[in-house]
Amino acid sequence: KDKKVAILFSEWCQMCDHLSASDVAYSRFVTQLQQDGLLNGDDISERFFRILTELAVTHSLVSEQIVAPGGSSQQSPQLPQISYFSIDSYAKLVVMMLKYSPLEISSNKGNILSKILSVTVRTIQKEAEEKKASFNPRPYFRLFINWLYDLTTSDAHHEFQVLSAFANAFHLLQPLRVPAWSFAWLELVSHRSFMPKLLTCNLQKGWPLFQRLLVDLFKFMEPYLRNAEIPDPVNILYKGTMRVLLVLLHDFPEFLCDYHFSFCDVIPASCIQMRNVILSAFPRNMRLPDPSTPNLKIDLLAEISIAPRIMSDVDSALKSKQLKTEVDEYLKRPEGSSFLSDLNKKLLMPQNEAAVAGMHYNVPLINSLVLYVGIQAVQQLQLNKAIASASVQQINHTPLMDIFQIETATEMFKNLVTSLDTEGRYLLLNAIANQLRYPNNHTHYFSFIILYLFAEATQEIVQEQITRVLLERLIVNRPHPWGLLVTFIELIKNPRYNFWNRPFTHCAPEMERLFESVSRSCA
Amino acid sequence: DLGAIGDNLTGTSASSGHDQLYNLQMLEAAFHRLPQPKDSERAKNYVPRHPAVTPASYPQIQAPIVSNPTFWERIGSDTLATDMLFFAFYYQQNTYQQYLAARELKKQSWRFHRRYNTWFQRHVEPQVTTDEYERGSYVYFDFHVTEDGSGWCQRIKNDFTFEYNYLE
Amino acid sequence: LGIDLTTLGLNLNSPDNLYKTFGSPWSNEPAKGDPDFHIPACYF
């Protein structure tokens, strides 16, 4: 059977070699394959495409050895030329098959394509496992590039089916699964024939698929980006990721806005600029007032009372640790609750997990707790506002206990800020600062909370750490989120916080200069 | 130790085990096989539909400028220029050229009629305009056959109804 | 302190979408070759 497939493939390549070959010839060839029972999507088909894939790649690599200067079979030091004729021919066969196969096949084009892609995915995974450091990603990169060019421009009707088939294949080939394919993977995922189409087709139906791919990438880089010293290959991958994020920030800011929460879960706290890029995104139709406008009244901005759209699953981490019910109970009935007494310990990772993760605290759990409680409080604030302007009998129908929710939420933040250790408090303040974005009611609420915690702090270390969390986000290269800037400006300008008289602002000359320069550039 | 870079995140490599180290080694290997620009480029093997044999001194491949958007944006709207747009549209089908020519024709207020496969341009403001159609005098670019031969030319069609569901 | 993101080869003030000419995550150069275009079936 392998030999038969090889003969078929060589016939096909000869046809491709004659540039004048017409589509009629191509469609006749495809019909013949169909009649030979090779395109039914069954095991025979899968074996057929697996053999074709291996033939196409082997021939391209063979030419790589032949072409390498000096004809030596081992790879020459500089990158040898690879002849992609066999890869391009195989890619074209798949395109022609999808284009000319009989109706019953082409109607579920996405299904057939998924089968072919799953054969390709398994071939890559297998070869990467076997060849390890000598795995060559480029022939497979070429194969996908051909398909992205030819299959994503065909017809709008199948477009989403095709794009989601690729998105699922890329998810299965993510860097954590095939690390030797990481660079090819990011170039394909961000390719202009894939990323923008997945983000613009079918009214954002592709957004969850692309969000999953970005999270795949962040998860892979996370362990290496935590440390100050980043190995060169990771640095190249990091810079490549920053380019992709800048394209998203410029062309699809709403996508970054809506999924900021899940991205912050997987971006290490030390990747301040990368996180700032995501948090700086704001809807394209929004005009942001200059944060340094004198006497800027952010509570008078129309957008400040509107809730941001959050597509990430905010309370899943809370639920996974069975904390959500306790939080809801505490917010409704705080009197006599012991919820706060050991909350800080509940945020720690279990010993065994902490050792593997290299973290003491469960960052996604802290992020989830902060945003979930903030959302409840904001909703209550809006309800209170509605009540304030509502009639008397409506007020009587509002359960009194809900009214206390605001103070209860604030009490929880205050309690955590004093009960957590330095690391835990840093992660809590980070989770709050991650909500300081474009004008919306979360930015408004969390800006109030972090300034309130500064004003109410009884230990200077808390004020110092709040300042640190804000400052370290401001001293990195731009962009800086709007909500972060307005909060810091409020902190240093409003006499209520007595910022400049805090001893730590004068703890050393260079610190004094740093505060001066940041406040000058901000305000 | 109050912020991002410091010892508040315990070392990871010791506790991460094989997979992180392995992943880094594989990444290092991949780093030496980054996709090259030519891995994404496809030879533009332009295959003329009806190849004509021309003297070797003639250009044998298309001039790159025909795929340059700026060339089409600056082509102008006099008759010769418009004829070039129509030539690219009708004789270079399914190419970037056709795409650019169509875009330029639209900028010059031509509208493609999907039923007649013909470009129309309002000769005067339409007499009637409804949600479904407009009616008036239009210039259109057409291939016509007469006793003294055939060829492309611009003609005027009076009292023509352009139904919007045929508008591309 | 991060990097100066204006040095990554992307014109962040461009009125047009950047993805049309985004070449690769590894290079500052814009994409070569025909950018993405879609031709309506009725043009054929």
- Which band of pLDDT confidence, cut at 50, 70 and 90, is reported for residue A80? low
Check residues B5 and B34 and name the one with the higher pLDDT. Answer: B34
Lowest mean pLDDT among A29-33, A135-139, B24-28, C31-35: C31-35
Q: What does the pLDDT read at residue A17?
A: 83
Q: Taking 90 as the threshold, does the pLDDT of residue A297 lie above it?
A: no
Q: Which of residues 129-158 of A touch B (CB under 8 A)?
A: 132-138, 141-142, 145-146, 149
Contact A159, A197 (CB under 8 A): yes
Q: Taking 50 as the threshold, does the pLDDT of residue B34 lie above it?
A: yes
Pairing of strands B110-113, B118-122: antiparallel
Mutate to test the interface with B, among A234, A466, A474 (most CBs of B within 10 A): A234
**Hey, which residues does B146 pair with through a beta bridge?**
B149
- Which band of pLDDT confidence, cut at 50, 70 and 90, is reported for residue A38? confident
Q: CA–CA separation, A438 vs A289, rounded Å?
A: 10
pTM of the entire predicted model: 0.84
Contacts of C10 in chain A (CB under 8 A): 243, 246-247, 250
- The values of phi and psi at residue A424, to 5°, are -65, -40
Q: What does the pLDDT read at residue A350?
A: 87
Query: b/e for B59-75, b at 16 or more Cβ within 10 A?
Result: eeeeeeebbeeebbeeb
CB count in 10 Å sphere of residue A149: 19
**Hey, which residues does B162 pair with through a beta bridge?**
B134
CB count in 10 Å sphere of residue B124: 9
Contact C32 B37 (CB under 8 A): yes
- Condensed to tens digits (0 to 9), the pLDDT of residues A19-37 reads 666 778 888 999 998 888 8
SS3 A136: coil
**Hey, which residues does B113 pair with through a beta bridge?**
B118, B167
- Condensed to tens digits (0 to 9), the pLDDT of residues B93-149 reads 888 899 999 999 999 999 999 999 999 999 999 999 999 999 999 999 998 887 888
Contact B94 C34 (CB under 8 A): no
Q: CA–CA separation, B109 vs A93, rounded Å?
A: 41
Burial class (CB in 10 A: 0-12, 13-18, 19+), C1: exposed
- Condensed to tens digits (0 to 9), the pLDDT of residues A144-188 reads 999 998 888 656 667 888 999 999 999 999 999 999 999 999 999
- Which band of pLDDT confidence, cut at 50, 70 and 90, is reported for residue B45? low
Q: What does the pLDDT read at residue B1?
A: 40
Total number of residues shown for chain B: 168
Q: Which of A502, A477, A480 is nearest to A492 (CA)?
A: A502
- Which band of pLDDT confidence, cut at 50, 70 and 90, is reported for residue A404? low
CB count in 10 Å sphere of residue A398: 14
Q: What does the pLDDT read at residue A74?
A: 43
Contacts of C42 in chain B (CB under 8 A): 112, 114, 117, 168
Contact A16, A88 (CB under 8 A): yes
SS3 A79: coil
**Hey, which residues does B153 pair with through a beta bridge?**
B142
Sequence-ordered strand ranges (E) for A30-157? none
Contact A411, A340 (CB under 8 A): yes
Pairing of strands B149-163, B133-146: antiparallel
- Condensed to tens digits (0 to 9), the pLDDT of residues A225-269 reads 988 788 999 999 999 999 999 999 999 999 999 999 999 999 988
- Which band of pLDDT confidence, cut at 50, 70 and 90, is reported for residue A395? low
Q: CA–CA separation, A379 vs A442, rounded Å?
A: 10
Query: b/e for A197-214, b at 16 or more Cβ within 10 A?
Result: bbbebeebebbebbbbbb
Mutate to test the interface with A, among B23, B41, B53, B98 (most CBs of A within 10 A): B23
Q: What does the pLDDT read at residue A75?
A: 43
Contacts of C21 in chain B (CB under 8 A): none
Q: Which of residues 67-96 of B touch C (CB under 8 A)?
A: 67, 89, 93-94, 96
Q: CA–CA separation, A188 vs A508, rounded Å?
A: 49
Q: CA–CA separation, A33 vs B40, rounded Å?
A: 29
Q: Taking 60 as the threshold, does the pLDDT of residue B162 lie above it?
A: yes
Contact A113, A151 (CB under 8 A): yes
Contacts of B11 in chain A (CB under 8 A): 227, 358
